[in-house]
Amino acid sequence: MAEARETGAESGGAPPRWLTSDELRAWQKFIAVVELLPGVLDSQLQHDSELTHFEYYTLAILSEAPDRTLRMTALAARTNSTLPRLSHVASRLEKRGYLERRPCAEDRRATNASLTAEGWQKVRTTAPGHVATVLAHVITPLSPEDISDLDRIMGRMLGRLDPENTFRASNE
Amino acid sequence: MAEARETGAESGGAPPRWLTSDELRAWQKFIAVVELLPGVLDSQLQHDSELTHFEYYTLAILSEAPDRTLRMTALAARTNSTLPRLSHVASRLEKRGYLERRPCAEDRRATNASLTAEGWQKVRTTAPGHVATVLAHVITPLSPEDISDLDRIMGRMLGRLDPENTFRASNE
């Protein structure tokens, strides 16, 4: 990114503008967090529970749903995922006994995913360590004002990253 | 994450506390951005330049260095990466003619990575589309106050994610 300042003047297909120095500084910190955070979340979960963050998040979202069941399409949206990616992960979780997939009773073309009793237990035992990691690395260093600012800023980004609000994070 | 509220009371190894509803709302938006943004950056770069974001960022950091050269250890730190991951990517970039690795003249045990003329040209032609993507998805929806808040908040998170400031994003 940063090289944009140097190359911009010489470049052919110029974008509307380059980043200002304030924007560049914020962007570099932000992209560092985006690179580093998934590794921190995955490491703790893998080490303590043999789950990736995406696997844990999938089980956690199901644990909150009515009857701990969601259509696969809805579960993909709630986990910020595509259906192919979710299907791949659901297969792995199914093999481990945490999740079951069945045709939806109201619409046989649709598939439901349900948390098993074992999956529910897995979420319960995994949650404390994961929440402690999120608190330590993300939440605790922030003031209440930071939390409110983070919510506003991420909501604005999601307005562009997910303009149709497919992933339903924007207005929850 | 959200299930933490339900399972917390029953769970055995309780963390210091669970997330408040304000923290949970901000966290869910933030984690959605962390999941979605890399795909948006990678898609544009892959489509237009056949580079991943990490490959582009590696070339871009080198393009700014004196003599367009850095030690591999310094380049790993600047790209928020481990040395093994960077070495793997450097091999790919070397095969494509964008980067060269040579023993460091001052310390033969160390390895330098340099941008080739072709790599420099690649950065120049790739930067405009990438910057336009960053502007459209991250920067433009934010006010100057948001940018300043984002910088402060990400700096605080990096204080925990990278306490030794190894990756040098915190105070740049």
- In terms of residues, how long is chain B? 172
- The pLDDT tens digits of the residues spanning A138-152 come to 999 999 999 999 999
**Helices and strands, number each (H, E), in chain B:** 7, 3
Give me the amino acid identity at B156. Answer: R
CATH architecture group of domain B36-160? Orthogonal Bundle (1.10)
Tell me if B139 sits within 8 A of A19, measured CB to CB: yes
Nearest to A171 by CA among B7, B1, B139, B32: B32
Question: Does the predicted model carry a pTM greater than 0.90?
Answer: no
The residue of chain B nearest to residue A135, with distances taken between CA atoms, is B19
B106's tokens: 């001052």
pLDDT(B102) > 60: yes
Q: Provide the ipTM.
A: 0.85
* Residue A11 three-state SS: coil
| Mean pLDDT, range B135-152, rounded to an integer | 96
Distances (CA, A) of B154 to A13, A89, B9, B102: 31, 30, 31, 35
| Mean pLDDT, range B139-159, rounded to an integer | 97
- The pLDDT tens digits of the residues spanning A13-62 come to 554 688 999 999 999 999 999 999 999 999 999 999 999 999 999 999 99
pLDDT(A4) > 60: no
A69's tokens: 């069941």
A132's tokens: 């402690």
* Residue A163 three-state SS: coil
- The pLDDT tens digits of the residues spanning A96-116 come to 999 999 998 888 889 999 999
**Whole-number average pLDDT of chain A:** 89
| Mean pLDDT, range B129-155, rounded to an integer | 96
pLDDT(B159) > 70: yes
CA distance A5 to A41: 34
CA trace torsion B73, A29, B165, B18 (10° rounding): -130
| Mean pLDDT, range A66-88, rounded to an integer | 94
The residue of chain B nearest to residue A18, with distances taken between CA atoms, is B131
Partner residue opposite B33 with nearest CB, options A13, A25, A158: A158
Tell me if B150 sits within 8 A of A30, measured CB to CB: yes
Res A168: pLDDT: 66
Res A9: pLDDT: 41
Of the residues B89, B142, B161, the best mutation for testing chain A's interface (the one with the most A CB atoms within 10 Å of its CB) is B161
